[in-house]
A and B are shown apart, each in its own frame.
Chain A
Amino acid sequence: MNASSLAKAVIDGILTGGVYALMAAGLTLIFGVMDIINIAQGALIVLGAYMSYVLSVHLGIDLFLGLIITIPAFFVLGVFIEWAFMRRLRDQERTAMSILVTYAVAIIIEGILSVIFGVDFVQLQASYINSSFHLLGFYLPYIYVFGFLLALVLLGVLYYILYRTHFGRGVRGSLQNRSAAELIGVNVNRVRALSVGIGVSVTAAGGMVFGATNSFNPSSGYDLISRLLSIVILGGLGSIGGALVAAVFMVTLEDVVAVVWSPVWATLVYYASLIVVLSFMPNGLFGRAAVRAQ
C-alpha cells in the first residue's frame, strides 16, 4: 500500500459514489414523500439501461443524448406506477405493503425484459466508455467522470426543485404532515404522483450510467437494491444531499478497505459500519427525527 494507490481509491470512490447517488436519488425522494420502499428501483435502473441500449444499438442515438427521450418516458412510467399501485395502499401499513407491491412490479419488469432480451449479459457501448484520460498521475475513465458530472447536475436540479420552488414546498409539506398540507390547499395526490414521476425519471439517467459502467441482464436489479436502500437510510430519508454523502462514503470506504486490507472483506466492512452508524443515528446522517414523527 502507498499514498498514491490510496489517493486513487479515494478518487474512484468519489466518482463511483456520485453514480450510486444518482441511482439512489429516486429511491430517497419516493421514500421521503410517500413512506414507500420502492424495491422496484433496481429493476427500473435495469429497465433504464435497456432503453439506452435499444436507443444506442438500434437507432444509433448517443447515450447522453438518448436521455432526452428516456427521462420523459420514465416520468410517465413513474406517474403511472404511483396512480396504479402506490395510491391504493392504505396509510396504516403503507411501508410494509409497499415492499410487496413494488417487489411485484420488479418481478413483472424483470419478466418482460427477460422475454424481450433474454438472460445474456450486455453492456452499453460508446467511444468514451473504454477510454480514459490522464490527470495528476491518475488514469480516469471518461465515463465515470461524465457520470459523476451528470449526477451532480441532476442532483442539483432535484435539490432546486425541492427547496426553491412552490412545488417543492408542497412536496416537503406533504412529507411533514399530510393533513396539514391538505388543509392549506396542497393537492397531496398530485404532489405524490409528480414526486414519483420525478424520482423515476432521474432513475433513467442512473440506469444509463449503470449500464455504461457494468454489464447487466434482466435480474441485475436485485443486487443493486440492497445497496441503494442502505445508502438512502444511511443518508437520511428524503435527503438528496444525504444520499450523495452516504454513497460517496460507502464506495470510498469499500475502495480504501480493499487497498489497505483486502478486497474480499471490503463489502463486509461497509455493511458492518452501516449497522454501527445506524445503531447510534437511527435516522441516518441527515435524517430529521422530529419532522418525520407524525
Chain B
Amino acid sequence: MTARLPFRALLVGVAIVILGVFPLVFSNPTTTSIAVFTLIFMVAASSWNMFSGYSGYIALGHAVYFGVGAYALTLLANHLGFAAGWGVFALVPVAGIIAGLVAIPTGVIALRARRHTFVVITIAFMFIFQLAASNFAFTGGSSGLQPPTPLWSATSYNDHFYYVAAVILVATVLLSWLVRRSRFGLQLFAIRDDEERARGLGVRVGRVKLSAFVLSAIPIGMVGGVYAYFLGQIFPQFAFDPLFDLSIALMAFIGGLGTVWGPLLGALVLESLQQYFTVQSGASQVYLIIYGGLFLAVILLLPRGLIPSVEDLIRRWRTRGGAQDRATEEGGGDRTADVVKAAGAR
C-alpha cells in the first residue's frame, strides 16, 4: 500500500494538470462543450455515489436536486437582477445549498423505507418536482425559464463554464475521498453491508444516512445551476429528467460503485461518448444498439465495474498464490467477503 501512495498522488496530479490545460489544447467550441457536459456528469455521478454507492441505497431521484439547483440559480439571477457575466456564478453555491435544504425533508421521508420501496419513493419525488415545475406559474410552466445570457466571445464562451465545473469537480472528488476515509464513511459502508448489525453496533443509522443523502444533493444542485446557465434555458423535462437518474447510476456502476474513482471514469467515458454521438447524430439509432450491447457486456463480464475488476486482476497477477493479504486490503467487510468467496470458488 505504502509503495503505491506516491504513484497514486502522481496520477492525481497528472489528472489535475490535464483538467487545467484541456481547454487550452482543445479549444474547438464543440469539444469544450462536450467537456462541460462531461464535467457536469462527472460531478453528478461522483456525488450520487457518495450516498448510493457508499450506503447501498440506490436512489433514482437525484434529478430533483439537479433541477432544484437549475431553477434556483435561474430564479435568483432573474429576480435579484444579476447582470450576465461572472457574477451569476456566485449563485452556484447558493443553488447547492438550496438543493441541500430540499434534500432534508425528501430524504427524511424516502429514508423511512428500504430497498425497492426506497427506489420507488425517490422516483415518485422526481415526478412530483417535474410536474410541479410544469404547473406552477413562478417556474414558467412547461415553457420554462431563461437565465441571463452572458456576452462572452464565442471562442472562449465554454471555457468559463468549464473552469467553474472543474473547480466543483475537484471539490466533490476531494469530499468523496475524505468521506470514504472517514469514520462517517465507515459507518455508511457498515450500513451497506448489514444495516441491522450496524445499528446494533451503535451506528446512528438514521442520522448517518440522512447526512450522506443531503451531502450528495449539494454538488448535484451546484452543477444543476451551472447546467441551466450554460444552456441558457431550462425546461421541466430536462431539469427533472428520469434518464438523468438512470445515467448517473449507470456511470457509477460501470466505473465501480462505492469507489472514489469509478464513477468519474464511468461518467468520463459514457458522457463524452454520448455527447460525441449526439453531435455526429448520423447513426444515432444504431448507436443505441451498440451502447446497450457494450453496456450489457461490461455488466455481465465485469459485474463490479471497471476499476474494482481491473484492481482485482492486477492484485491477482501480483500475488499469484498468496491469497491471504488480498482480504486485508480495502476496508469494507463486504469486499472481504467477496474476496473470500471468490477464493473459495476458484
Question: Could you list which residues of chain A lie within 8 angstroms of chain B, going by C-beta atoms?
Answer: 31, 37, 39, 85, 88-90, 93, 95-97, 99-101, 103-108, 110-112, 114-115, 222, 226, 229-230, 233, 237, 264-265, 267-268, 271-272, 274-275, 278-279, 282-284
Rounded to whole Å, the gap between the CB of A33 and the closest CB of chain B is 14
Contact B292 A105 (CB under 8 A): yes
Q: Which of B22-30, B85-93, B296-304 touches A?
A: B296-304
B128 at the interface (CB under 8 A from A): yes
Given the known A-B contacts A111-B286, A275-B121, A275-B124, are A101 and B296 also in contact in the complex, defined by CB atoms under 8 Å? yes
Most central of A37, A107, A264 by chain B CB within 10 Å: A107
Residue of B nearest to A39 (CB): B246
Chain B residues with CB under 8 A of A31? 116
Contact residues of B between 85 and 122, Cβ < 8 Å to A: 109, 112-117, 119-121
A103 to B251, CA, bound (A): 13
Q: Which residues in chain B, 103-157, are within 8 Å of chain A measured between CB atoms?
A: 109, 112-117, 119-121, 123-125, 127-128, 131-132, 134-135
Query: Measuring CB to CB, which residues of chain B are less than 8 angstroms from any residue of chain A?
Result: 56, 58, 60, 109, 112-117, 119-121, 123-125, 127-128, 131-132, 134-135, 242-243, 246, 249-250, 253, 257, 285-293, 295-296, 299-300, 303
User: When chains A and B are docked, how far (Å) is the Cα of A31 from the Cα of B115?
Assistant: 12
Residue of B nearest to A103 (CB): B246
User: Complex: how many Å from CA A108 to CA B288?
Assistant: 6
A237 partner residues in chain B, CB cutoff 8 A = 116
Residue numbers in B under 8 Å from A99 (CB-CB): 58, 60, 119, 246, 249
Residues of A within 8 A of B120 (CB): 229-230, 233, 274, 278
The answer to whether B124 and A88 touch across the interface, beta carbons within 8 angstroms, is no
Nearest A-chain residue to B126, judged by Cβ:
A226
Quote the shortest CB–CB distance from B173 to chain A (angstroms).
23
Cα–Cα, bound, A111→B291 (Å): 9
Provide 20 A-B residue pairs closer than 8 Å at the C-beta atoms, listed in order of the A residue. A85-B300, A95-B58, A97-B299, A99-B58, A101-B299, A110-B288, A111-B285, A111-B286, A111-B291, A229-B120, A230-B124, A268-B128, A271-B124, A271-B125, A271-B128, A272-B124, A272-B128, A275-B128, A282-B112, A283-B117
* 7 pairs of A and B residues whose beta carbons are closest in the complex: A111-B288, A107-B292, A111-B289, A108-B292, A114-B285, A268-B131, A233-B120
CA distance A274 to B60 in the complex (A): 16
A279-B286 Cα distance, complex, nearest whole Å: 42
Among A104, A265, A274, A283, the residue within 8 A (CB) of B296 is A104
Q: Are A108 and B109 in contact (CB under 8 A)?
A: no
A89–B301 alpha-carbon span in the complex (Å): 10
Give the shortest distance, in Å, between A34 (CB) and chain B (any CB): 12
Contacts of A103 in B (CB 8 A): 246, 250
Q: B299 — which chain A residues lie within 8 A by C-beta?
A: 97, 100-101, 104
A279, B109: Cβ atoms under 8 Å? yes
Cβ-closest chain A residue relative to B254: A100
Of the candidates B109, B116, B127, the one whose C-beta lies within 8 Å of that of A233 is B116
CA distance A90 to B300 in the complex (A): 10
Assess whether B292 is in contact with A37, with CB atoms less than 8 Å apart. Answer: no
Give chain A residues whose Cβ lies under 8 Å from the Cβ of B127: 226, 267-268, 271
Chain B residue nearest to A281 in the complex (CB)? B117
Chain A residues with Cβ under 8 A from B125's Cβ?
271, 275
Residues of B within 8 Å of A284, CB to CB, are: 117
> Could you tell me if A108 and B300 are in contact, using CB atoms closer than 8 angstroms?
no
For B121, list chain A residues within 8 Å (CB): 274-275, 278-279
Closest B residue to A274 using CB positions: B124
Tell me whether A108 and B289 are in contact (CB under 8 A).
yes
Q: Which residues of A have CB within 8 Å of B114?
A: 282
Contacts of B112 in A (CB 8 A): 279, 282
Verify B242–A222 contact, CB threshold 8 A: yes
**CA of A110 to CA of B253, assembled, Å:** 21
Shortest distance from the beta carbon of B49 to any chain A beta carbon, whole Å = 12
Residues of A within 8 A of B115 (CB): 95
Q: In the assembled complex, which residues on chain A have CB atoms less than 8 Å from the CB atom of B249?
A: 99-100
Specify which chain B residues have a CB less than 8 angstroms from the CB of A265 in the assembled complex: 131, 135
Q: Which residue of B lies closest to A113 (CB)?
A: B285
Q: A226-B123, A264-B134 are in contact. List 16 more A-B contacts (CB 8 A).
A: A100-B299, A104-B292, A104-B293, A107-B291, A107-B295, A111-B287, A114-B285, A115-B289, A229-B120, A230-B120, A265-B135, A268-B131, A271-B127, A278-B113, A279-B109, A279-B113
